[in-house]
Structure 1
Amino acid sequence: MKSGMIRTIGFFLTIASLIAVSCSKDTEVIQKPEPSAPTPTGASAVQISLALPGNTGIQNAQAILVLEQTGQEKVVKVKLQEQDERLHTGPVVLPAGEYRLTQLKVADKNGKYLYAVPRAASARANEVTTPLAVRLVANADKPVVNLTAAPITIAGNATDFGYPTNAFEGQDRFTVQLKATVNVGGYVYDNMDGQLLITWYDAQDNPHSEQVQLQAGNNTISLPVGASRFVFTYSKWNVTDEMDMPASAVTRGMSIAIGGSVAARKLSEEKTWIESDGSSRLVSRKTYHYNGAGQLVKTMYYQKLPQYAELQLQQVHAFEYQPGKLMHVQYFDGNNKSYGYLKFMYNNNGQITHMEQKSYDQMTYAAVEHSIEYGSRKVTIDYLYENGHALEYTYQVENGNRTKESGISSAGASEGGTFEYDNNINPYYLLGIQDIYLRYNSRNNMIQQNKSYSGSMPSSIPYRFNYTYDDAGYPVQLLKNFRSYSSNTHLYTEKTVYTY
């Protein structure tokens, strides 16, 4: 730690709850999320949980689903994830409605078919409890269908499963790399998942379609050799992008960028309730105000005080910009009396290098260093306080999110943690502001945290939180459960509702 850093761990614990947040305003200790990224609340989807005989041992398994609806056939490819000795598709996003699942095959990472669900009346049908075809309903509840697959033996053939003769034959295919990027109001999300519909045309110009559930980041996409034309249609967060390419322009191993842009929805209000012992009480409200250019110019924070029935205005922050950069934040209390400020300085790359804050009679100075370590962006902040105390805090950024942190006080106490995120929009990131803890710099919402402490321990910690998202990828509600750090006893639930 740099010389002069003499800050007690007690203060570090109080600011740590502000440092590593995304959509939540506190550092979180939460349950492990579902195997797949959450889908928007209004999205229609179905999920399949698949049992395989014996120990699968399949790495990077993929399910190939053949769906029928009103006489039309759709092929959907989705990654499988193992949980509780079963393979799960996670939410398969589809237009709302009923479908018939007529084929389900499981392939390894090389495209070799290993398992399939037999059709009724086939030679292998008696090996499973529910043979195909089965009715699937895609809706907002994302119902789960439980099925069992049978192994595809070397001597076996597709007709034993009731499938077409060539169903297990490997088509001559090649692969390309595809990555999706979405620009949300000027903020680039370049580690995107989403839905990809591939329509390819054969030599007779007959269309064939395959739907692929993209993973975040780069995706290896398999395409048939001999196609005359490809149409790629990407969708996510109400953004749709279509690319129509002749087969001659699509070559083996090439990289394809797809995506689009959409205007940002600005956070206008958030309200928080505490739910405990069967009762719910509103404890705070925060409003957000913008200028004609869409810049946040003021926030107003209201809080419940014991002596008042209604929430009382406690804090106002006014934001000032010089061209495009946040330079100054003025602090006012509920009586419009100034009690402090926050100033920023930047380098030529637009990165914050120094901060100065006054809050009542307390001054805080911070120096910020930016570097690259093992391919990740590293930020180190040295905090120096007027009373001589200090703190050094370091965090790493991967895919636009703060994924690792460590802090140490001059007293020798420390705190650290690692964090995981979903693939939805963090509305605080879109505000375009910062505070002295640089807590508004994660693109997505945190879904898991592992924390460690040396020194003082927190009295309570969040242990579970569940987001509800709209179809544009924004959180509309967060339920956050808190427990006692020492006894693990549930204490209360904090419910926050977001309005845009």
Structure 2
Amino acid sequence: MKVKFLNFFAATALLGMFAACSGDDDALPGENENPGSQKASIKLSFNPPPLFNASERQPAYAVIAMTDNNQVEVVSNKKVTLSLKAGSYFTEEFEMPSATYRLSSFVVFNAEDKVVLATPHEGSLKGEELQMALPLVVDGKAGGTIVTNTEVGQVFVVEDAADFGYAVEVFGGKSDEVTLVSFSASINVGGFIYDNIKPSVLITATDDEGNSWSVGRDIDGVENISIPTRFDYYYISWTHWGDIYERELTREELFENHAVKLEAQKAIKRLKSETEFTLLAGGSKLESHVDYIYNEEGKLSRRDFYHFNDDTNEWVLQLITWYEYKNGRLDNVKRTMDNTLLDTQLYHYRSDGRVSKIVQTGLNGGQEAVWLYNSQTDAFTGIRYSFDNGNFFTYHYEFDKGNIVSEYSGVGSTAGTSSSQKHYDSFINPHYLLGITDYFLRQSSKNNVNGETQSYAGSFPIYVPGQYTYTYHNGYPTEKEVKYVGYQNPTATYTSKTVYEYEN
């Protein structure tokens, strides 16, 4: 009987344990807790940005706002003092009910109540520049002090508020009357217009009382900028390809048409030569060299192509291309080898000065390239190539911002087709400045190719360009490296390097 009695009590204890566990499982989260009784201690911190002059703009306090997970504002315009410790600034500690919050505003002022720093909002101009942008999660856990780090950018005038995604009133100012002004830029490089540039522009406004305002932008195409109208003078400084240009406008001049065209002149640097190498493990191998020679008018008159002879260790002149002009435009191109004329290309033009066709005659027979134009828009669309043997094919081209971005060949007398999509940098293509419309449009893009994809049907090349790398100086490439990959075997690669030299 004792054994049974003890087993009864053991079973009763076990049932009690399971009942207790079952009761906990049935409880809803937080049902046995009082959220209001749980408090979190919160601090916010930041590091001053580079070049921040703390002696003149010493942060004194921050004004913050926070929301809950439902985006309901639970902290509004809260002023918290700042202290500096080990190079970082910390807000005073403040308590909040334990929960997850989002920091929705963080603006730093100095002792004179002038805004000096701020955390930008996501999607704003400054928000794109910094690594962190609002809203930021603040994890308000109970127990201990939670420090949440944020990132700030410098504020120079209250009108910078829009760049950070704030209303100007939040920065302690009042809204000025502003007007949208569109800005565009172009540079004339020796008669060749580059209007697809992306300059950095700084606009500084002043008045006779010494007040000022400034804003910076990177312009891509046409950029609309909100500018306060209360100032008397507007100074525009813009940089591109290492050059700085300046312009001053009065209020009347700036807002007369609400559009400013920034135009500049840049001296042309003519291509003197280019040398191509094949890069090898631990060195390089010379391949070819080209010299460019110009006439008294600065037009290309001759192109000498050399091949490097590994056996004799010297350059061998292989091909000379001659360019002749009539009435200010290219009339014909001749190629000679060892004083023997190989072929001649005769240029024909439309009444508007654009090329209509190029007729080639030579030792290997004749061929013709006819330029194609849209019958409705009169825009150039491609070239049809035909040969004495009856073969033909057509290349179609698409241009964007002065560059060939797409080219493909339709099915001609042979079954082979090809297509290519190209991407470009924003620097000067020295071959474009030669001013030559060549037979296959290889010198017709303003900028330098920095990426392309190609596809072929029928015949195909062994290697295709895979990766481009350039070194630039003052807008011009000085070196180019192209990594070629096998079209059918991508593991097969080699890299070529081209070094450019200029006349001035």
Quickly name the TM-score band, shorter chain normalised: 0.5 to 0.7
**In the alignment, structure 1 residue 338 sits paired with structure 2 residue 359:** no
Aligned partner of 1:491: which letter? T
Aligned partner of 1:365: which letter? E
Aligned counterpart in structure 2 of residue 302 of structure 1, from 303, 306, 310: 306
CA contact (8 A) 2:122 2:135 kept: no
**What are the Cα deviations for residues 61-82 of structure 1, in whole angstroms up to 9, with x where unaligned?**
xxxx996479899xxxxxxxxx
CA contact (8 A) 2:120 2:153 kept: no
**In the alignment, structure 1 residue 233 sits paired with structure 2 residue 260:** no
Q: Which residue of the partner structure matches residue 486 of structure 2?
A: 484
Aligned partner of 2:200: which letter? Q
Pairing 1:417-436 to 2, within 5 Å after superposition? 417-436=420-439
**In the alignment, structure 1 residue 108 sits paired with structure 2 residue 112:** no
Aligned partner of 1:221: which letter? I
SS across alignment from 2:440:
coil
Q: Which residue of the partner structure matches residue 498 of structure 1?
A: 500
**What are the Cα deviations for residues 236-289 of structure 1, in whole angstroms up to 9, with x where unaligned?**
235443332222333398221012111210000100100133331111000001
* Cα separation, partners in 2 of 1:310 and 1:66, compared to 1, 3 Å: closer
Deviation at 1:109?
6.1
Q: Which residue of the partner structure matches residue 46 of structure 2?
A: none
Q: Matched residues in 2 for 1:278 and 1:224: separation?
A: 59
Aligned counterpart in structure 1 of residue 361 of structure 2, from 358, 361, 364: 358
* Cα separation, partners in 2 of 1:348 and 1:265, compared to 1, 3 Å: same
**In the alignment, structure 1 residue 127 sits paired with structure 2 residue 155:** no
Q: Which residue of the partner structure matches residue 477 of structure 2?
A: 475
* Cα separation, partners in 2 of 1:153 and 1:180, compared to 1, 3 Å: closer
Q: Matched residues in 1 for 2:424 and 2:380: separation?
A: 18
Q: Say how many residue pairs are matched.
A: 375
TM-score normalised by L of structure 1:
0.67
* Cα separation, partners in 2 of 1:176 and 1:306, compared to 1, 3 Å: same
Q: Matched residues in 2 for 1:131 and 1:255: separation?
A: 35
**What are the Cα deviations for residues 48-96 of structure 1, in whole angstroms up to 9, with x where unaligned?**
xxxxxxxxxxxxxxxxx996479899xxxxxxxxxxxxxxxxxxxxxxx
**In the alignment, structure 1 residue 183 sits paired with structure 2 residue 188:** yes
Q: Which residue of the partner structure matches residue 391 of structure 2?
A: 389
Q: Matched residues in 1 for 2:277 and 2:370: separation?
A: 36
SS across alignment from 2:260:
strand
Q: Which residue of the partner structure matches residue 6 of structure 2?
A: none
Q: Matched residues in 2 for 1:178 and 1:222: separation?
A: 11
Deviation at 1:189?
0.8
Of stretches 183-192 and 453-462 in structure 1, the one that deviates more from structure 2 is: 453-462
Aligned partner of 1:412: which letter? A
CA contact (8 A) 1:180 1:192 kept: yes
Q: Matched residues in 2 for 1:332 and 1:196: separation?
A: 49
State the percentage of identical aligned residues.
26
SS across alignment from 1:268:
strand
SS across alignment from 1:250:
helix
* Cα separation, partners in 2 of 1:267 and 1:191, compared to 1, 3 Å: same
Q: Matched residues in 2 for 1:423 and 1:167: separation?
A: 40
Pairing 1:41-440 to 2, within 5 Å after superposition? 68=52, 103=118, 105-106=120-121, 108=123, 115=133, 126-128=147-149, 166=171, 173-202=178-207, 204-215=209-220, 217-251=221-255, 254-305=258-309, 307-333=311-337, 335-371=338-374, 377-408=379-410, 409-440=412-443
SS across alignment from 2:374:
strand
* Cα separation, partners in 2 of 1:351 and 1:153, compared to 1, 3 Å: closer
Q: Matched residues in 1 for 2:267 and 2:127: separation?
A: 42
SS across alignment from 2:147:
helix
* Cα separation, partners in 2 of 1:226 and 1:133, compared to 1, 3 Å: closer
Q: Matched residues in 2 for 1:107 and 1:376: separation?
A: 45
SS across alignment from 2:120:
strand
Q: Which residue of the partner structure matches residue 5 of structure 1?
A: none
SS across alignment from 1:233:
strand
Aligned partner of 2:148: which letter? E
Q: Matched residues in 2 for 1:338 and 1:381: separation?
A: 25
* Cα separation, partners in 2 of 1:406 and 1:72, compared to 1, 3 Å: farther
* Cα separation, partners in 2 of 1:274 and 1:110, compared to 1, 3 Å: closer
SS across alignment from 2:433:
helix
Deviation at 1:406?
1.6
TM-score normalised by L of structure 2:
0.67
CA contact (8 A) 2:182 2:260 kept: yes
CA contact (8 A) 1:176 1:254 kept: yes
Gaps of 5+ in 2: 1-48, 58-115, 137-144, 155-163
* Cα separation, partners in 2 of 1:111 and 1:251, compared to 1, 3 Å: farther
CA contact (8 A) 2:185 2:262 kept: yes
Alpha-carbon RMSD: 3.5
Q: Matched residues in 1 for 2:192 and 2:262: separation?
A: 16
Q: Considering Cα pairs closer than 8 Å and 6+ residues apart, tell me whether 1 or 2 has the greater RCO.
A: 1
